[in-house]
Amino acid sequence: MHRRNFLFGGVPLSFALLAARPVRSAPLSHEYNLMTAGSGKVATIIDGDTLTLEDGQVIRLVGIQAPKL
């Protein structure tokens, strides 16, 4: 009887507690040595998170999940 209670109650509860544990947030920008850009006009869009400015700078957006084209 106790074994069945454990299997039907304890095991699912253990999985639920593991799934609900806190997840570490995304790394901060200083951990990646990122820099803040100024302003500019977009000349071309390379893919979902990379673009080129009119002055030739290639900008890669960090922290978004965009599909690759």
pLDDT digits (tens), the chain, 69 positions = 455 554 455 666 666 666 666 666 665 555 666 667 678 899 998 888 889 999 999 988 877 877 766
Query: Do residues 41 and 51 make contact, with C-beta atoms less than 8 angstroms apart?
Result: no
**Nearest residue to 64 via CA among 49, 44, 54:** 49
Position 69 in a domain: no
Q: Which residues contact 42 (CB under 8 A, 6 or more apart)?
A: 51, 52, 53, 54
**How high is the pLDDT of residue 55?**
92
Position 36 in a domain: yes
Position 16 in a domain: yes
Residue 45: domain span: 2-60
Domain count, the chain: 1
Position 26 in a domain: yes
pTM given for the model = 0.45
Position 66 in a domain: no
Position 65 in a domain: no
